Amino acid sequence: MGTITAPKNRKSWKWDNKDSESWIAFSHVNGLVISGKGIIDGQGSSWWKDVGEGDDCVAINSGCEFINITDVYCGPGHGISVGSLGKGGSYASVENIYVKNITFTGTTNGARIKTWIGGSGYARKISYEDIKLFGVKNPIIIDQQYDPYQGESKAVKVSDVTFRNFEGTADDEAAIELKCDRIGCTKIILENIKIVGLHGKKVYASCKYVEGSCSSCTPNVPCLS
């Protein structure tokens, strides 16, 4: 139970590691529960733009399994992310991640999975469920080409991912992006998705190299229909 809030005065924040700008980040953790109506936000901070709007509210990195995150308000920032994984050709593994009953407000991303080209390993058995969205730029995003300039043929495998019961508004036309590498993302399931554009904007879904299904999805996901 509690609140994590960015300080108004940047000088009071000791920022020693520029590679780890998330509010809460986990690596090599087996079994963890975050719950209890917590708030992870940066309201009142004068320096969000300097750190990319706070980066991830929660980042789940390599070596994590059986992570349960429920009843959290997140915003602004970059949402709740799995990854990034496989940077510099490294091996990464993440599985059995359960994120439920989350409210994203004014975040850059909502539910995100991101992996680097050239990495190896897997991200699997991941579920985002019962998600409320208020002006989120990218509500649902899988990016298996997080750095498309490496020119590598390898990628971290992404599979058994479920996005279920999403409702709210997107602040960008690309409400759903499933951008996978040639290795593909498999068993990607979307169910009961209702995302509309903020202030009447038209929104759409895009996808590449994705296998799975979409049931009751707004916007429609062409490659999963």
Say what the alpha-carbon torsion angle 94, 170, 188, 125 is, to the nearest 10 degrees. Answer: 30
- DSSP string computed for 129-150: EEEEEEEESEEEEEETTSSTTS
Alpha helices in the chain (DSSP H): none
Check if 199 is active-site: no
Beta bridge partners of 212: 188
Choose among 199, 213, 197: nearest CA to 162: 213
Cis peptide leading into 84, omega within 30 of 0? Answer: yes
Q: Which of 62, 69, 77, 78 is catalytic?
A: 78
Nearest to 186 by CA among 166, 165, 213: 213
> Among all chains, which residue has been given the structure tokens 């990218």?
138
Question: What are the residue numbers of the active site?
Answer: 78
